[in-house]
Each structure stands twice: as structure tokens, then as C-alpha cells.
Structure 1
Amino acid sequence: MNLSNKQKQHLKGLAHSLKPVVLLGANGLTEGVLAEINLALDHHELIKVKVASEDREMKAMVIDAIVRETSAVKVQTIGHILVLYRQSEDAKIELPRA
């Protein structure tokens, strides 16, 4: 799913007040963490994930893996926070027209 700039801006506004629902710890990206992210996306559609990694390249690789494995759209990253969106079957968030 591709989002227009207008849709991404809308989602960024909605995500502003959200707290991270999944925090990646010392163990990094595990199957359990991916399952938790998938569950959160199914329930909320728009979530924040905290990727605590000091190495920029490693953080970028983890973010790419999360996006690929969850089939979600990366809305934005700010520091260690990743904002993800994946529309569920009963769309909870109304997106503006592209």
C-alpha cells in the first residue's frame, strides 16, 4: 500500500499523541516482537515502535525488516521512534483522498 503525502501528514498528526506500544530491547527483533507488532497493528492500525539501537545502520536494517515482515507502511521515523500504519479489514482510521 502506498500513501500520498496528504495521507502521511494526516497519519503523522494522529500519531503525535500516541505512546510506543512495542519496545525493542537488548534481544532485538525476535519472532515474539514481530508477533506483538502484528497484533498491535491488527488492533490499532497506527502504532509507534521504539527501536533502541545506537548503531544507525543496524537501526535502519531493523526498521526495514519490521516493515517487510509486517506488510505495514512506514509513516515516519523520528529518532528511535518508528510510526507504522497497516489498514485492517474494518478500517478504523479514515484516510483523506490521495
Structure 2
Amino acid sequence: MILTPDRIKQFRTLGHALKPIVTIAGNGLSENVLAELERALSDHELVKVKLAILERDTRKSVVEDMCKRCNAKLIQEIGKVALIFREAEQPDPKKSNIR
């Protein structure tokens, strides 16, 4: 899916009401964190992730790596919270945050 500026704006608006589903701490992107993130993206499509990492540069690199490994798009990053999106192949309307 190509994300237009209007679509990104819509996702940002939807993201305000979301609570972080996944928290990434000092261990970084472990296999368990990636598995949980994959599950969350498959179920919800639009996911808020909390990064409990102090250094700004480290947070940025973790977000980039997370998006790359999960094939997701970064919608917004504010402080220690990132909003990411990946379109589900067969979205469940009951679980999806964008439907």
C-alpha cells in the first residue's frame, strides 16, 4: 500500500487513541519482541510501540531496524513512542485499528 499524506494524517489521528502494545527495553529487538510485534501488526495493522531506551540515536536505529525486519512503515515517532503500520493480508475487522 502506498501511504499518501492524507492516509498518514488519518493514521496519526487514529494513533492518538491507541495505547502501546509492545515495549522495547534494554535488550532491544529480541526474538520474543519481534514475535509479539509480528502478531500485533497482523492483528491490528496500526500499532504503537514504546521504546524504553534512553539514548535518542539508539532509539532511532532500533525503530529503523524494527520497521525493516517487520516490513512496516513508520508513521510517527514522538519521544519514546513510535507508531507503525503494516497492511494485513486478511485483516480481521474486529481487531484492526484502521477498519
Q: What TM-score, normalized to structure 2? A: 0.88
Size of the aligned set, in residue pairs, is 94
Alignment partner of 1:15 is 2:15? yes
Counterpart CA distance in 2 for 1:80 and 1:2 is: 26
Structure 1 segments of 4 or more deviating over 3 A?
A: none
Partner of 1:49: 49
Superposition map of 1:1-98 within 5 A: 1-91=1-91, 92=96, 93=98
Q: State the shift of 1:7 in Å.
A: 0.5
User: What's the offset of the Cα at 1:9?
Assistant: 0.2
Write out per-residue CA displacement over residues 4-36 of structure 1, whole angstroms, 9 at most, x where no aligned residue.
111100001111100000011222211110111
Deviation at 1:2, TM superposition (A): 3.5
Rounded to whole Å, the distance in 1 between the matches of 2:9 and 2:87 is: 16
**Secondary structure in 2 aligned to 1:75?**
strand
Runs of 5+ in structure 1 lacking a partner? none
Shift of 1:50: 0.5
C-alpha separation between the residues in 2 aligned to 1:56 and 1:26? 13
Percent of aligned pairs with the same amino acid: 36
Cα RMSD for the two superposed structures: 1.3
TM-score (norm 1): 0.89
- Provide the rounded CA distance (Å) in 2 between the counterparts of 1:89 and 1:56: 33
| C-alpha separation in 2, matches of 1:28 and 1:73 | 19
1:37 and 1:47 map into 2 onto residues whose CA distance is: 8
